[in-house]
Chains A and B, each alone.
Chain A
Amino acid sequence: MGDIGFGSLGGILPELIIVLGGLLILVLDIAQADRQDSGRGYLAVSVLFLIVGLTGVLLQIGMEPYIVLSTTAIDPFATYLKLVIYTGMILVAIGGGSYMNRHATGRGEFWALFLFVTAAMSFAVSATNLLLLYLSIEFLSITSYILAGFLRTNKRSAEAGLKYFLYGSVAAAVMLYGMSLLYGATGSLDLGEIAQGLAANAEMAAIIPAATLLTLVGLGFKASLAPFYQWAPDVYDGAPTPITAYLSTASKAVGFAVMARVFVVALGAYRVEWAPILAGLSVLTMTVGNVIALRQTSVKRMLAYSSVAQAGYILMGLTAVVSSQQADLTVLGMNGLNGLLLYLFAYLFTNIGAFLVVLAVEDETGSTELDAYSNLVQRAPGMAWAMFIFLLSLAGIPLTGGFVGKFYVFGAAVQHQYFWLAGVGLVNAAIAAYYYLNVVRTMFFASDGEAATGRMAAPVAIQSVVLLCVLATIWIGLYPPRLLEWANSASRQLLALML
């Protein structure tokens, strides 16, 4: 074990910085005499600390993997996901921060919790120990419940917080059953040691299906997979839109990352058992999400269901980790996991951008219904075109980031002989294109011009973040090699840990 010096904390410096930022804001808020403070300063401090954290993570790119304090891995996989998380949180903070400042009571608490939830996600993706993994997921969940219900005067927001809490606590309890089975079978909480313990004791194979399913309940809840998705539409719809933006991207990415790490590292030897379960969940998730999304009249709720459906596509990547030919996964161009990682990054910019457009329209018209988008191209051409690109990316049209993500997960599924899975995925993508393009039709070709009076002025913060998201979406769509390289090294490193 050795002594713990300050040097050993170097690996988790980004997280420490974020946590310090949160504590600083709490202290500043106590010292603050003016109760009517606009909260703009907290926004600036939060963005500053997040950017410093992101810089710290960028410096960790390309480092040799190592373990800090026996529970936290600093490896390419965790670093890649931290990039996703920090980038997402920065975009949400800049784009949605002023909305939260205007509507929330307790701005100091909001920004402190916002930084804490970032740190929690960051720990969750690098945890190699079931205890830390559970704790950081709980931390993420509990903070998210509070943030989802943050607008106390808004009934929908309060409902979202409560529903999220009730559903989440049951899911977490069920997940603990799964984890305790793994612990009982191997006597260790460390993911690598669990894999070794399971390999050494063949009799323990009996608990694998139960442990897999039970653990999957908690992780599937975070990633909003099909049988555990019921909270998602109500929470995404009711929560303040900036919170929805991070719940549907960064928090979902954490769910997938933890799932990938647990299944690949701890249960990798049993992938033949769990891959069919994941394939089934994937099909169920995308179909349910898409079919219900078809009937939504609110754009925010439609995006919520579409986010469930997207989780189904993303899960395809993890399913495809299991190859029917026993090829060496680490040398394959499409190993499934890199598709999952690419998808998460592309989806981050696309979805945050889309929710910020929803936020701008909601700010102006007070509505998230489809009617509010009628002839948006005349009121706010920039927003309408940006939304157009985000919807194309969500539908997976070439030249956008969404296409690259879909290409890699579908490609991996085909390469690993999951033809039926890829087929169902394609049918679903076609269904999804219908409701995405329906919004485009309303924005560009609405027949009644009554709503089309006056120009809509979106705040500069939202405009600039939306522009950034558009550029990133197109950049990933046109020129992904750099990102692909990161995703490849991250996925290879994790797959190399598979026994």
Chain B
Amino acid sequence: MPGLDALPFPLPTVQQVIFILIAGMTVTGALITALAPNLFHNALGLVLAFFGVAGVYVLLEAEFLAVSQVLIYVGAIATLITFAIMLTRGMMFGRTSSTNRLMLSTAIISALFFLVLTGLLVNVAWPEIGAELAGSEQMIADLGEMFVTTYLVPFELMALLLLAALAGAILLARD
């Protein structure tokens, strides 16, 4: 096909097309989360964004992370948020607004922040560091081993943090 070679830009690969779709989905979800006027729609937008991030993990060959993302963020956290909204009358049926008088300045600052981060990502020659990835099962085994060796203290501290957060949440929410 001679016509395709004459295009001013290279054709995207399949992986790039998939990435663009996933990225579009993530950004759409994030925008719904930030801008939709109904709090319940915000929560649903968040679910969409979580799924998108899981897709990015899959593209990066981090399947385990992707599964965890779906299980924890979509399965647990998003469900919890939805429940919290549905059980709170004022939030479910009352008027909530995602905008206030700081909307404009926030948007400007966020845009600048985005530009700075993008500038860094594009212009810095990021090094390629790290060993070749092991096979998927071996990778999960390595991950588990890291949890009980190098990262033992953070791992145990995380468990304690969850306990403290749980105790505190029950205490603050109890009637």
Q: Which residues of A contact B (CB under 8 A)?
A: 1, 4, 12, 19, 26, 68-72, 105-106, 109, 112-113, 116, 119-120, 123, 129, 131-132, 135-136, 138-139, 142-143, 145-146, 149-150, 152, 161, 177, 181, 184-188, 197, 201, 203-204, 206-207, 210
Contacts and interface: CB of A to CB of B under 8 A. Distances in A.
A204 B126 CA distance: 8
Given A138-B161, A185-B127, A69 B171 contact: no
Given A69-B150, A149-B172, A210 B120 contact: yes
A187 B172 contact: no
B116 interface: yes
A132 B120 contact: no
Given A149-B172, A185-B126, A206-B120, A143 B164 contact: yes
A142 B165 CA distance: 7
A412 to B, nearest CB: 33
Contacts of A120: 157, 161
B153 interface: yes
Interface of B: 116-117, 120, 123-127, 129-130, 148-154, 157-158, 160-161, 163-165, 167-169, 171-172, 174
Contact of A132 (B124, B153, B171): B153
A131 B151 CA distance: 9
Nearest to A147: B168
A184 B153 contact: no
A116 B160 CA distance: 8
B124 A207 contact: yes
20 contacts: A1-B149, A12-B153, A70-B149, A72-B153, A109-B167, A112-B167, A116-B164, A123-B153, A123-B157, A132-B153, A136-B157, A138-B161, A143-B168, A146-B165, A150-B171, A152-B172, A185-B127, A203-B124, A203-B125, A206-B123
Contacts of A131: 151, 154
Given A109-B168, A207-B120, A1 B161 contact: no
Contact of B150 (A1, A12, A206): A1
Contact of A71 (B117, B153, B161): B153
Nearest to B161: A139
Contacts of B116: 210
Given A69-B153, A109-B168, A132-B154, A181 B120 contact: yes
A240 to B, nearest CB: 14
Contacts of A210: 116-117, 120
B90 to A, nearest CB: 15
Nearest to B117: A177
A74 to B, nearest CB: 12
B126 A184 contact: yes
Q: Quick one: which of B120, B149, B160, B164 has the most chain A CB within 10 A? A: B164
B150 A139 contact: no
Contact of B149 (A4, A112, A184): A4
The 4 closest A-B CB pairs, nearest first, are: A187-B129, A146-B168, A106-B171, A132-B154
Contacts of A109: 167-168, 171
Nearest to A104: B171
B124 A206 contact: yes
A201 B151 contact: no
